[in-house]
Amino acid sequence: MPISSATRRHALRALSALLLPGSLRATAASANDPSEAAADCIIPAKAGGGFDLTCALARDALQAVRPRRPPLGQRYLPGGIGAVAFDRIATGRLGGPGTLVAFSSGSLLNLAQGRFGPHPPTAVRWIATLGTDYGVIAVHRDSPYKRLPDLIAALRQEPSRVAFGAGGTVGSQDWVKAALLVRAAGRDHRAMRFVSFEGGGDALGALQGRHVDVFPGDAAEALQAIAGGAAVRLLAVLSQARLGGALAGVPTAREQGVDIVWPTVRGLYLSANVPDAAMRAWTAAFAEATAAPGYAALRERHGLYPFALTGAALDDYVQARIKTYQALADELGLRRWKP
């Protein structure tokens, strides 16, 4: 029986695939699934902060469930604590199915204020959250402030004498934590001193060098610095209740009479211009990764607590948080984004 031309083409393709080197076969197999191909995670700040941690966790989580895929690359793109990366993704100057970008609650706060340019939240596709961090109030190990009430007393006496240092400028999430702390002391937050840095790593370095007095940052980056030998002491964690693990001995702000809670969700987004199939592939990949049996231990090693969302649930969360942050911006006299 003669062989049809369609059968002959199929056989030739199969033979060609077998003859390809392993790396090329993997590339061909993953052509329609970017989550299996070489890809990068953009860290939109300098090294040493929470975005760095997010991309490292994303890399490790994917590798754990898909060990044959190329490790997720990491690239730094500092500028505006995420503003430069968001603008380049939203305008198409950066992106594609193989480019993920780290975001945090601070990114959503900046979006709520229009600090990421004239772009709505729908300018990107929200892929997944990997966990949540919590804000901390940290000082140098030799600081005269031994407990949070000591710092509150100093702020009540004269807020301008206490120098806060953290990532971002006026309106950033670290600035907001400092502003809420000054208000808790009964003083006007506009009177505080705030030194801006391009990421938590630089701010923690300034705290270590005694150039600033207080770091209103996040737990994971502070613990990472302490593990590296930094002379840092945590006065309070901004969680609803005391946390476990390395933070078990750190009291909450609420325990010390200061009602401030600040979770910092960490996750990833993608260009809105990628095909729907790429969006579904990445969403499925991270849903698989965060549901894997070993993920909890991996997430804990990176200093995060449970908070995994993908798909419509994540879109709803983003919209709800932006509304909350817009109300907070109004309360603190900050500008806000208007559609």
State residue 245's pLDDT score. 84
State residue 169's pLDDT score. 85
pLDDT at 241 over 70: yes
State residue 80's pLDDT score. 83
DSSP 125: E
CATH architecture of the domain formed by 38-132+264-331: 3-Layer(aba) Sandwich (3.40)
pLDDT at 26 over 70: no
CA nearest 70: which of 43, 37, 35, 40? 37
Quickly tell me which residue has 């790429």 as its tokens.
278
Instruction: Return the bridge partners of 124, or none.
Output: 271
pLDDT at 7 over 50: no
Q: Which of these ranges, 93-97, 193-197, 217-221, has the smallest mean pLDDT?
A: 217-221
Q: Which of these ranges, 148-157, 160-169, 268-277, has the smallest mean pLDDT?
A: 160-169
Q: Provide the percentage of residues in the chain whose pLDDT is more than 90.
A: 75
Mean model confidence pLDDT for the chain = 88
38-132+264-331 and 136-261 in the same fold? yes
Q: Which of these ranges, 12-26, 70-84, 131-145, has the smallest mean pLDDT?
A: 12-26
Instruction: Return the bridge partners of 266, or none.
Output: 104, 131
CATH architecture of the domain formed by 136-261: 3-Layer(aba) Sandwich (3.40)
Q: What is the mean pLDDT of residues 149-161?
A: 96
Confidence bin at 14 (pLDDT 50/70/90)? very low
Sorted by where each begins, the domain ranges of the chain are 38-132+264-331, 136-261
State residue 193's pLDDT score. 95
CA distance 167 to 212: 12
CA distance 169 to 176: 10
Confidence bin at 338 (pLDDT 50/70/90)? low
Confidence bin at 161 (pLDDT 50/70/90)? very high
pLDDT at 204 over 60: yes
Cβ–Cβ under 8 Å, residues 65 and 292: yes
